[in-house]
A = this chain, B = another copy of it.
Amino acid sequence: MKCSIEEITTLAVRALKRAGASRAMAQATAQALVAAEMEGLTGHGLSRVPLYCQHLREGRADGKAKPKLVKKKGATCLVDANGGLAFLASALAVKEAVKRAQRYGVAFAGVTNSHHFGAAAYHLAPVAQAGLVGLAFTNSPSAINAWGGKKAFFGTNPIAAIFPRHHGGPIVVDLSLTEVVRGKIMIYAREGKSIPLGWAVDKDGNPTTDPKAALTGAAFSFENDSYFEPGNKPRIGHAILALDPGALAGADAYFARLEVMISKMLADEGVRLPGTRRQQAAAKARAEGIDISDALLSELRQLARSKR
């Protein structure tokens, strides 16, 4: 069903508050999830509201937590999310990173004791608005084996980058290489095809060409993603790096060189700038509203209504 941005945001805020989130946390979270939904990133969009509500109810995320700046030294600082959802804490880290990068040329803000980061690039919008280049990092529950190992060890650990332009929206790059592989393995499994050797290992750590062995094995334990299972507070960490081009070759040189690069890229037929599709999807959603499945909408309405 087509919903207006306001309508769906209000619904998400209400659901998160009912589950125990403070007004500020509910608003920051709903805004981030709606933004991802608007950009077409449904995996990090409104489908997360029920899961976050469950985590708030189970105490895996603390709805009353207030993020706090617990350490600062020159161009670096550390924010403690105190076990709350990620968005308030990371907004504080971004604010501090921008302030410090403006002063020192570069800044690094860490966030500790946090929760699911959502779409990594979302957090970086204020960095680009301040005319700074931004990078965002986060860890995530174990999904990938280490070099030569059998067990899920590293997370998919997305990285995002943002590059402001002199006019128009920023260049936005989101990297989550293992997500690509995961998506590809899923397509191969659905089509009953073999995957090339080297893409994945099975549950014994042996290389496999069977996409189903790769999907159920220890190396890519997507179905065991601990966000989706009972568990402790995830204590996820994030980091924001902000960089002032003015401190290096200079802002004028940066903006001019970036436009040279962009024109050169666009001169090659078929090239699209990273972030463009998302920005177009968001503009469309702003004008026309968002399509939400009836099932999700009724779940959100129930969460917004009930006190269960």
Contact = CB atoms under 8 A, between A and B. Distances in A.
Interface of A: 71, 73-76, 78, 103-108, 110, 112, 145-151, 153, 177, 184, 195-196, 198, 205, 241, 243-244, 246-249, 264-265, 268-274
Contact of A268 (B71, B146, B196): B146
A265 B152 CA distance: 10
Given A76-B248, A108-B243, A110-B249, 14 more contacts: A73-B105, A74-B75, A74-B247, A75-B106, A78-B249, A106-B106, A110-B248, A146-B265, A146-B268, A147-B271, A147-B274, A149-B270, A153-B264, A205-B269
B268 A149 contact: yes
A130 to B, nearest CB: 16
Contacts of A78: 248-249
A198 B180 CA distance: 11
- The 4 tightest CB contacts between A and B, nearest first, are A76-B105, A74-B104, A149-B271, A149-B268
Per assembly, the copies of the chain total 2
A222 B219 CA distance: 32
B105 A75 contact: yes
A105 B247 contact: no
A268 B196 CA distance: 24
A76 B153 contact: no
Contacts of A71: 247-248
B104 A272 contact: no
A106 B271 CA distance: 35
A168 to B, nearest CB: 17
Nearest to A112: B249
Given A76-B247, A78-B249, A110-B248, A269 B104 contact: no
A147 B243 CA distance: 25
Given A184-B198, A271-B149, A105 B265 contact: no
Contacts of A106: 74-76, 106-108, 241
A153 B265 contact: yes
Contact of A150 (B74, B147, B151, B268): B268
A287 to B, nearest CB: 25
Given A196-B196, A248-B110, A270 B74 contact: no
B73 A148 contact: no
Contacts of A195: 196
Nearest to A107: B106
